[in-house]
């Protein structure tokens, strides 16, 4: 908290427990337990070219339940963090008939993260259960798939709704990371806006620059498409193509973002709960980095959207020019605040267009936060979170609710909070 300032206490609605089966409206089907030899890849369907494994005497058969996996994921991969060097990861993979597809040291997690391929068709849940038997494995998770949150169809009305004068909006000097598609750096609205770039998908050709251009433009655009926080220093990580990405790619982008000494990371995407995602955003928040994410565009009955639903993240829903909730928005106790996100004018490759989605509402909130930090760089992440919540314009039922969270952000009031 900023020295000499105090805020009214805000009591948030308890966040969902990501490990609880009650955290989403519908849970996955749990498969029956099976007999798995944790030390013998021959216990699973045979691989065409299994790696050599040293024979072990008296290898026990253990009763292991396949791990139930929810959400979309890469069907033949798992992610693990390893207590040991790359050779330890290779040994673990060989013992279970897996392929080491990539391996690197995570700056946020401080451990080696390996992406194992499953060459023989075993279900991901079975492999996760098999990996549970090895003490060298610190964590294991599916390689979940995440998607950008743009609805099917910043703008001038956004400034007025969040109580900030467009002529006075400033994000000067605030370092912000955007994890998204590639951006069109040749667009006039982005001229000189992006200070650094990172491609977490080097092996995939760039075909899509639309979503990333709009998000960065809403944040810090200049000229005829002014952003909420012009002057902010943007570090743009390309981690999406065709609207999709994976946990391994996103973790690489998060690591890079943290290394840029940013104050804030904008994550306008949604996917399932994932152990590595939870640990990464937790580690980033411990560093004092603010994390802003889209609540999701999958409707009121949709499961909670992650990373927004993690307690370290500011989950943003979208409203229109009359403060009505976007119909497609996710609902849930994890929603923290609301911001304009319906029919916003935003830069796109080749010009401007109207965009809709919680993705763009998240960018509006990130821009508002940049204004607060530009005016008072010593404000802590905790101060910013509480200032947004305590000064928001309450919408819907009194108090925090599952539609609007604490309500529509009020940048002017937040800046004056004590």
Cα 313 to Cα 215: distance, rounded to the nearest angstrom: 18
Q: Is 359 a catalytic residue?
A: yes
Tell me which of 180, 184, 255, 403 is the catalytic residue.
180
Cα 296 to Cα 282: distance, rounded to the nearest angstrom: 20
Q: Is 393 a catalytic residue?
A: no
Cα 279 to Cα 114: distance, rounded to the nearest angstrom: 15
Tokens of 73: 């994921």
Q: What is the 3-state secondary structure (H, E, C) of 264-305?
A: EEEECEEECCCHHHHHHHHHHHHCCCEEEEECCCCCCCCCCC
Strand 194-199, strand 175-180: pairing: unpaired
Taking a C-beta distance cutoff of 8 angstroms, is the pair 178, 212 a contact? Answer: yes
Q: Is 23 a catalytic residue?
A: no
Taking a C-beta distance cutoff of 8 angstroms, is the pair 400, 315 a contact? Answer: no
Strand 137-148, strand 73-82: pairing: antiparallel
Distance spanning both ends of the chain, measured CA to CA: 10
Cα 145 to Cα 142: distance, rounded to the nearest angstrom: 9
Tokens of 321: 């020019």
Taking a C-beta distance cutoff of 8 angstroms, is the pair 194, 184 a contact? Answer: no
Half-sphere exposure for 134 (CA within 13 Å, toward CB)? 28
Compute φ and ψ for 100, nearest 5 degrees.
Answer: -85, 105
Tell me which of 144, 187, 211, 379 is the catalytic residue.
211
Residue 342 is given by DSSP the state S
Taking a C-beta distance cutoff of 8 angstroms, is the pair 320, 342 a contact? Answer: yes
DSSP bridge partners of 241: 244
Going by C-alpha positions, the residue among 110, 111, 241, 224 that lies closest to residue 179 is 241
Taking a C-beta distance cutoff of 8 angstroms, is the pair 132, 379 a contact? Answer: no
Tell me which of 359, 374, 386, 403 is the catalytic residue.
359
* Active-site residue list: 180, 211, 359
């Amino acid at each position: 908290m900023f020295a000499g300032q105090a805020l009214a206490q805000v009591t948030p609605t308890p966040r969902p427990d990501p490990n609880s089966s009650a955290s989403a409206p519908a849970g996955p089907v749990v498969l029956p337990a099976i007999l798995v030899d944790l030390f013998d890849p021959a216990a699973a369907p045979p691989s065409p070219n299994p790696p050599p494994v040293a024979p072990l005497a008296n290898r026990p058969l253990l009763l292991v339940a396949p791990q139930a996996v929810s959400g979309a994921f890469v069907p033949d991969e798992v992610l693990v963090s390893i207590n040991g060097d790359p050779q330890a990861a290779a040994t673990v993979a060989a013992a279970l008939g897996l392929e080491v597809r990539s391996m690197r040291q995570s700056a946020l997690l401080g451990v080696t993260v390996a992406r194992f391929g499953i060459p023989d068709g075993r279900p991901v849940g079975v492999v996760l259960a098999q990996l549970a038997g090895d003490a060298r494995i610190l964590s294991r998770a599916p390689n979940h798939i995440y998607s950008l949150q743009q609805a099917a169809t910043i703008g001038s009305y956004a400034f007025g709704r969040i109580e900030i004068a467009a002529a006075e909006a400033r994000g000067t000097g605030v370092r912000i990371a955007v994890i998204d598609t590639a951006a069109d750096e040749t667009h006039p609205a982005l001229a000189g806006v992006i200070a650094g770039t990172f491609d977490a998908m080097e092996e995939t050709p760039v075909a899509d620059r639309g979503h990333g251009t709009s998000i960065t433009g809403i944040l810090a655009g200049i000229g005829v498409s002014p952003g909420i926080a012009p002057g902010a220093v943007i570090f743009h990580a390309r981690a999406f193509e065709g609207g999709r990405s994976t946990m391994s790619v996103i973790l690489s982008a998060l690591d890079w973002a943290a290394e840029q000494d940013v104050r804030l990371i904008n994550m306008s995407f949604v996917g399932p709960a994932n152990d590595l995602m939870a640990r990464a955003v937790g580690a980033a928040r411990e560093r004092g980095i603010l994390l802003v994410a889209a609540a999701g565009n999958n409707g009121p009955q949709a499961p909670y959207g992650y990373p927004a639903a993690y307690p370290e993240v500011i989950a943003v829903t979208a409203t229109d020019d009359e403060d009505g909730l976007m119909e497609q928005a996710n609902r849930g106790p994890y929603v923290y605040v609301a911001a304009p996100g319906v029919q916003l004018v935003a830069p796109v490759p080749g010009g401007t267009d109207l965009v809709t989605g919680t993705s763009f509402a998240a960018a509006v909130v990130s821009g508002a936060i940049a204004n607060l930090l530009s005016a008072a760089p010593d404000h802590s992440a905790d101060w910013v979170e509480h200032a947004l919540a305590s000064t928001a314009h309450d919408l819907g039922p009194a108090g925090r609710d599952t539609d609007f969270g604490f309500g529509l952000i009020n940048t002017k009031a937040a800046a004056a909070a004590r």
